Amino acid sequence: MLLNFSDLYGHDSIIRSISVNRGNPGYDDSIGLEIDWYDTGLGKVTFYEVLKATFDLNFGMIVCESILSAECTEDDEGLELLKHRKKNFSIIKDLKCSIITTNSTGNQIKIYEKGFHL
């Protein structure tokens, strides 16, 4: 059974770092999040076959960036636009949007990707 990002218990878990890997552009585009999980401790989630990402984050605040909610959806306006622009490319098959909303600032991270692993 495939794990859906929405199935992970992320509420109140703390995002420690975000890394973007473009070492082999177009072939191995990934985004890693180091997360101090509320229930299991420190770990890393790596999203692979990333086509697009948006980071709406605030800096300069003296507060840990914790997760309010994390969901995976195929019903996102940005995802629909991306699929429309790349409709002739096979890469859009199985593309989804993982959305992380933060507690501290109410901001969002959106990652348009094919999957993830822990």
The helix (H) or strand (E) run that includes residue 116 is: strand 115-117
Q: Scanning the structure block, which residue is given the tokens 């914790």?
A: 66
Q: What is the pLDDT of residues 50-62, one digit of tens each?
A: 988 999 888 877 8
Question: For 88-116, what is the mean pLDDT?
Answer: 82
In angstroms, rounded to a whole number, what is the distance separating the alpha carbons of residues 115 and 10? Answer: 17
Residue 96 phi, psi dihedral angles, 5° rounding: -140, 175
In angstroms, rounded to a whole number, what is the distance separating the alpha carbons of residues 100 and 65? Answer: 11
Taking the model in full, what pTM does it have? Answer: 0.81
The neighbouring-strand residues paired with 64 are none
Token pair belonging to 90: 């096979």
Q: What is the pLDDT of residues 10-37, one digit of tens each?
A: 778 899 999 999 988 888 899 999 999 8
